[in-house]
Structure 1
Amino acid sequence: MTFSSAKQVLDAPSGQEVAVRGWIYRARSSGAIVFAVLRDGSGIVQVTVKKGGLPDAEFEAARSASIESSVEVRGAMHEDKRAPGGKELRAASFRVVGPAQTFPITEHQSEELLLDHRHLWIRSREQNAVMKVKAAALRGAREWLEESGFTEVTPPILTTNACEGGTTLFKLKYFDRDAYLSQSAQMYLEALIFSLGRVYSVTPSFRAEKSRTPRHLTEYWHLEAEAAWADNRKNMEVQEQLVTAMVQNVLSERKEELLLLRKDIEPLRDIRPPFKRMTYSQAVDRFRTQGHEMSWGCDLGAPEERALTAEETVPLFVTNYPRECKAFYMKEDPEDPRTYACADLLAPGGFGEIIGGSERETDLRKLVSRMQAQGIAMGPYEWYLDLRRYGSVPHSGFGLGVERVVKFVCGLEHIRDAVPFPRTVSRVYP
């Protein structure tokens, strides 16, 4: 008999013979009957094992099988409203494939223990659901980007230059020279637009920020895009359509998982373009009218982003940040040269920044002047400056933190639960 998934056997009609294999999620015994809930990658199904309904040795194997033992079960499906999914599998055969020792994770464990046993905790239904949501979000992103003329490319993650600044780089020895783990693929994507026009990548990025917050990882997945002939306005339109595609695809494919993770999914249905827009200066004015002290020129931190979006139900763009807040490669806004033509996209409900983007500076002299003023060595960037020397065009791009989007969509308290094996300032094991 062919093995089916837990989800498939729940769809089988009552009385149909099926076979399923997976791991014991929970179990209890009352003498002559064993109730076991099996899980696999698709979901859970209740299995009932009755003494006399199968060989005695198999009944004893079912009775003694511990949590997380891997098993194979054959039998018939029957209606039972008390069982998960409204059906149960009544076993005619039960085989333990991989017996499990006493599982080290029980109910109400500390966060540190769960992190120490992350290789086991990822088996939980919550982590299973988060990973499926993440996959659906990325699938929605890729489908929308491909349909919109973007080509996926594969930039390197070993580099000799910094994109966002040298203080947060992971340095390593690359044979007989120094190299760094990439903070962003942006500059390589800029090079690729001269060949392909619109490009995107999904790569790991690394930032050595000593930030111990619920929204920072030292290694995270970065969806980045760059487009030729696009100004900052067009750049924001791409972002809002992309985020909408990601959220709507999750709603379409993973409603069941979302309901496991968050109480109310209805607000996600309201995420449609256009998103709200507010300038940095307007944000500062709002803080001041609310009685908060904030000087023009200071970057927005987590408290400010929470205050701006706590009552919002859709994402919010904050545009035109002061030049001193942002990186040297951004383009000055011609209507306000104190600021760059840039925008950060903040998730609603206080979840904070999920995208940072800007129009890129194409004036070679301005780029060189800024680099000199900031003491940035020219050598590692000569190839990047060549992009301005040989046929530059107006172009824009952005970087989306995949785990930050997942954290928002799933309603997670901490970003570490949006990645299977989180890397933070204090954790690189397992």
Structure 2
Amino acid sequence: MPTKTSIQNIGQFLGQSVTLQGWLYNKRSSGKIVFLQLRDGTGTIQCVAVKAELPEEVFQICQSLKQEASLRVTGEVKEDERAQNGYELTVQSVELLHQSDDYPISLKEHGVDFLLDHRHLWIRTPRQRAILKIRSEVLQAMTLFFSENGFTRVDPPILTPTSCEGTSELFHTQYFDEDAYLTQSGQMYMEAAAMALGKVYSMGPTFRAEKSKTRRHLIEFWMIEPEMAFVDHDENMRIQEQFVSYIVQHVLKHCAIELKTVGRDISILQNVQPPFPRMTYDEAIKWLNDNNYEIAWGEDFGAPHETALAAQFDRPVFIERYPTAIKAFYMQPDPDRPEVALCADLLAPEGYGEIIGGSERIHDFALLEKRFEEHQLPKEDYDWYLDLRRYGSVVHSGFGIGLERTVAWICGLEHVREAAAFPRMLYRLKP
């Protein structure tokens, strides 16, 4: 009996008969030969059906197959230097499992709204499959980095009683007889976990009820949030650049075919090695004004500012020490200059903007209590968070990295929506 295998492992069976199971991506015929492009989720391979070598009924099945029909193909594995994976299959038998009539996404151009309405089918195409494979490998690389560097995974709740960032951009829900919100960050819970386990991280969905339609924003997205006890601002940035470099080099190693499929220039990614350049907020403001971007000290950067700043470098750049007034209440002020915070944003090159936001957290009880008063936050809702400063407080830092933005940058995508299997955007909750 032929061995059942997958396309990604086909090279192990050169000269042997194997059975593949998958779907027909495309078909072309020269009359006496039918070329079947078979995909199985692990890759794509050409299966060559020669009329003179097959029973008539088998060849007729090959001719009748329609796009996305499911089938089982048995054949001999042969080398093919022109093929993406270096192999093709000479067909010996074909079993039609299910015919696919009137498949809506034909091999032609379609509008974005049409493709998003049919996202459940769009993800079958080679480009979308490659992006999702890269996303998976990015998550794998993150997990490996944390495992190799002594981090423990802790999963924070998705339903929370308060806002982490102190904003109103939250999705409200009713939690029995009290108000609750979909989380916009697990950071505070990670800080608590860091006081128990030292170095921790979380991976999971977060939600921002921002009415934004830019190419960088999703309503639901994944955040990876490490928190580290006994780590200051400078060490926090060193860990971030090691982390991002590790991810990119992992993808280069494990996703060569997928990066080629999405058309990514990998020479740009090969430069992503530490150390990353650094600019202070002050230096960034001066550079922007010297280069005809009018912006006052104390204003936050917009997309054009971030793009211009990052364009100076061939790898991500840290912008650090932003004004305290425009950053979250929990960020530690610089002891030598309290009007700026010990924080940094990591900007990706090529116009992808901020992929990481991080800071040293306030560890002094009195200062954090003062911040609650300044931001008019209800102390009773955050009393447990203050406990972390009451009982054995230490210097600690953390950061959050957006998965979809990171994947979009690594893949060179025009819009972050392609980096999620089923993106949730303003006015789109389907499918």
Stretches of structure 2 lacking an aligned partner (at least 5 in a row): none
Q: Secondary structure at the match of 1:221?
A: strand
- Give, in whole Å, the separation in 2 of the partners of 1:80 and 1:108: 29
- Give, in whole Å, the separation in 1 of the partners of 2:210 and 2:129: 29
Amino acid at match of 2:115: L
| Residue 405 (structure 1) aligns with | 406
| Residue 25 (structure 1) aligns with | 25
Relative to 1, partners in 2 of residues 1:136 and 1:84: Cα closer, same or farther, differing over 3 Å? closer
Amino acid at match of 2:95: R
Relative to 1, partners in 2 of residues 1:87 and 1:200: Cα closer, same or farther, differing over 3 Å? closer
Tell me the CA shift for residue 31 of structure 1: 2.9
| Residue 99 (structure 2) aligns with | 99
| Residue 206 (structure 1) aligns with | 207
| Residue 73 (structure 1) aligns with | 73
Structure 1 residues 362-371 or 375-384, which shifts more?
A: 362-371
Q: Secondary structure at the match of 2:369?
A: helix
Q: How does 1:111-260 map to 2 (within 5 A)?
A: 111-260=112-261
Q: How does 1:241-320 map to 2 (within 5 A)?
A: 241-320=242-321
Structure 1 residues 379-388 or 364-373, which shifts more?
A: 364-373
Q: Is the 8 A contact 1:308 1:350 kept in 2?
A: no
- Give, in whole Å, the separation in 2 of the partners of 1:96 and 1:316: 53
- Give, in whole Å, the separation in 1 of the partners of 2:83 and 2:342: 57
Tell me the CA shift for residue 82 of structure 1: 5.3
| Residue 58 (structure 1) aligns with | 58
- Give, in whole Å, the separation in 1 of the partners of 2:333 and 2:388: 18
- TM superposition outliers: structure 1 runs of 4+ over 4 Å: 79-86
* Cα deviations by residue, 1:115-164 (Å, 9 ceiling, x for unpaired): 00000001111111111111211211111112111111111111101011
- Give, in whole Å, the separation in 2 of the partners of 1:352 and 1:264: 18
Relative to 1, partners in 2 of residues 1:62 and 1:369: Cα closer, same or farther, differing over 3 Å? same
- What is the CA RMSD across the aligned residues, in angstroms? 1.4
- Give, in whole Å, the separation in 2 of the partners of 1:183 and 1:238: 23
Amino acid at match of 2:62: A
- Give, in whole Å, the separation in 2 of the partners of 1:156 and 1:80: 51
Q: Secondary structure at the match of 1:222?
A: strand
Tell me the CA shift for residue 285 of structure 1: 0.3
Tell me the CA shift for residue 385 of structure 1: 1.1
Query: Are 2:384 and 1:360 equivalent residues in the alignment?
Result: no
* Cα deviations by residue, 1:310-342 (Å, 9 ceiling, x for unpaired): 232111000011111111011110121111100
Structure 1 residues 306-315 or 256-265, which shifts more?
A: 256-265
- Give, in whole Å, the separation in 1 of the partners of 2:11 and 2:365: 63
Q: Secondary structure at the match of 2:296?
A: coil
Amino acid at match of 2:27: A
Relative to 1, partners in 2 of residues 1:302 and 1:34: Cα closer, same or farther, differing over 3 Å? same
Amino acid at match of 1:148: N
Q: Secondary structure at the match of 2:180?
A: strand
- Give, in whole Å, the separation in 1 of the partners of 2:363 and 2:81: 65
* Cα deviations by residue, 1:217-262 (Å, 9 ceiling, x for unpaired): 1111101000001110011011111111111110111112112223
Q: Secondary structure at the match of 1:166?
A: coil
Using the size of structure 2 for normalisation, the TM-score is 0.96
Query: Are 2:7 and 1:6 equivalent residues in the alignment?
Result: yes
Tell me the CA shift for residue 30 of structure 1: 3.2
* Cα deviations by residue, 1:341-382 (Å, 9 ceiling, x for unpaired): 000000112210000000011122222222222221122111
Q: Secondary structure at the match of 1:427?
A: coil
Q: Secondary structure at the match of 2:3?
A: coil
Tell me the CA shift for residue 83 of structure 1: 5.0
Relative to 1, partners in 2 of residues 1:85 and 1:200: Cα closer, same or farther, differing over 3 Å? closer
Query: Are 2:101 and 1:90 equivalent residues in the alignment?
Result: no
- Give, in whole Å, the separation in 2 of the partners of 1:302 and 1:119: 31
Structure 1 residues 47-56 or 356-365, which shifts more?
A: 47-56
Q: Is the 8 A contact 1:312 1:349 kept in 2?
A: no
Amino acid at match of 1:74: T
- Give, in whole Å, the separation in 1 of the partners of 2:215 and 2:84: 33
Tell me the CA shift for residue 399 of structure 1: 0.3
Relative to 1, partners in 2 of residues 1:320 and 1:74: Cα closer, same or farther, differing over 3 Å? same
- Give, in whole Å, the separation in 1 of the partners of 2:134 and 2:217: 20
Amino acid at match of 2:75: G
**Number of matched pairs:** 429
- Give, in whole Å, the separation in 2 of the partners of 1:256 and 1:82: 14
